[in-house]
Amino acid sequence: MARILLIATAASSFVQQDAESLREKHRVKLLVFRSYPKWKALFEFIRHKIILLFTIHRYQLIICQFAGYHSFLPVFFGKLFRIPVLIICGGTESVSFPSIRYGNFHKKLLGWFTAYSLCNADHLAPKHPSLIDYDYTYDASQPPRQGIKAFIRNFNTPFTIIPNGYNSGVFYPSGIKTPSSFLTVAAGMELPFTIPLKGIDLILKVAPLFSEAVFTIAGSPENHSLPESATNIKWACIKDKDHLLQLYQSHAFYLQVSMSEGFPNAVCEAMLCGCIPITSDVNALPDIVGDSGFMIHHRSADELYHAICLALSCDKKMLSEKARKRIVEFFPLSARKENLLKLAEDLMQLKS
């Protein structure tokens, strides 16, 4: 049984899920690098430097969830002490959207730390091929090429694509869905780029045109100042996992019209709960949705309007069942667990 150090910027559900998968065969220590508020980053660097200097010899593998400031020291000390480092790539470390100031490569210093980490890690595990190289057409105002190769010259770090996986026993349909109900979940509503990044501005424009429908936008912090909106738009704080599950189960449609999404969890969880997806044509979303929902190909309120019209007139029972079946069949948690464990063991054997 090997020792693995897992480093992340938050102990989020998907980080905990990967940790539990690895714990089936190994001992896993989770170390969180808290970079918000920004003034904490320097203190976190010092804290992590001390921890790594005194404990890194205990581990046979280091895994970083995403690349950024928090992955620099693990990669640096991994090379120094000949301990393999794996970086799981999720999205923000492979894009730059200057107009909304989003993406690691939009910022020079963060871009440098990200590039160093990605180029000097032993292996990467992107959640979708588009995170490596991608012709971006959804929003014409953004750079037309995205992905790690678009921002790092002569990039040659080996990588293995490992999509997210989901537990269909945790997320499932239950009860009667509210007719003509639409849900979107967006964490980080207090950040300036979240509303355009997640396409919430498009939803705010289109929702008033469907007075018979209700649109729920979930994820805003308590007491956060929210944009003015139509009466059929509800803003919700997510209290806990049970509340999130209830939101999925009670809504008929799920909206994910983001400018960029590596491999989004919420739309997959919602589909398992029988929500019919309406998404943007970016990154993993076409592979996730397939023929079980509706898609807009450009960042356009008109396209979203027409997609919602089609959704309201579709065979809802058939697409709801198809949406759940698609996640169960193509993205089971067991597949991610198996592939992640195999990659971890292969990397440890290479340097043993």
Backbone angles phi, psi at 174, to 5 degrees: -160, 135
Same domain, 31 and 151: yes
Q: Per 3-state DSSP, what percentage of the chain is helix, strand, and coil (rounded to 5)? A: 45, 20, 40
Same domain, 112 and 255: no
What are all long-range contacts of 289-292, with beta carbons under 8 Å and residues at least 24 apart? 289/323, 289/326, 290/326, 291/322, 292/319, 292/322, 292/323, 292/325, 292/326
DSSP 28-55: EEEEE----STTHHHHHHHHHHHHHHHH
Same domain, 326 and 339: no
Q: Does 289 map to a domain?
A: yes
Backbone angles phi, psi at 217, to 5 degrees: -115, 110
Q: Does 203 map to a domain?
A: yes
Same domain, 110 and 213: no
**pLDDT recorded at residue 44:** 87
Q: Does 82 map to a domain?
A: yes
Average pLDDT of the residues of the chain: 94
Give the number of domains in the chain: 2
pTM of the predicted protein model: 0.94
Closest CA to 241 of 323, 178, 185, 175: 185
Same domain, 326 and 345: no
Confidence of residue 239 (pLDDT cuts 50, 70, 90): confident
**pLDDT recorded at residue 89:** 96
Same domain, 138 and 195: no
Confidence of residue 155 (pLDDT cuts 50, 70, 90): very high
**pLDDT recorded at residue 352:** 62
Q: Does 56 map to a domain?
A: yes
Model pLDDT for residues 73-97, shown as the tens digit of each residue: 999 999 999 999 999 999 999 999 9
The two three-digit tokens of residue 219, written as one number: 């994820």
HSE, CB side, 13 Å, CA atoms: give it for residue 320: 20
Q: Does 171 map to a domain?
A: no
Q: Does 302 map to a domain?
A: yes
In this predicted model, which residue has the larger pLDDT, 42 or 268? 268
Same domain, 19 and 148: yes
First to last CA, the chain: 14
Q: Does 173 map to a domain?
A: no
Model pLDDT for residues 181-234, shown as the tens digit of each residue: 999 999 888 888 999 999 999 999 999 999 999 999 998 877 767 777 889 999
Same domain, 33 and 53: yes
> CA 165, CA 271: separation in Å to the nearest integer?
13
Same domain, 119 and 252: no
**pLDDT recorded at residue 351:** 67
Same domain, 276 and 161: no
Same domain, 250 and 281: yes
Closest CA to 305 of 207, 214, 215, 217: 207
User: The domain that contains 256 carries what CATH number?
Assistant: 3.40.50.2000
Task: Give the Cβ contact number of residue 175 at 10 Å.
Answer: 8
In whole angstroms, how far apart are CA 334 and each of 22, 87, 148, 171, 284?
A: 12, 20, 28, 15, 19
Q: Does 318 map to a domain?
A: yes
Domain ranges, residue 138:
3-165+333-350
Same domain, 220 and 129: no
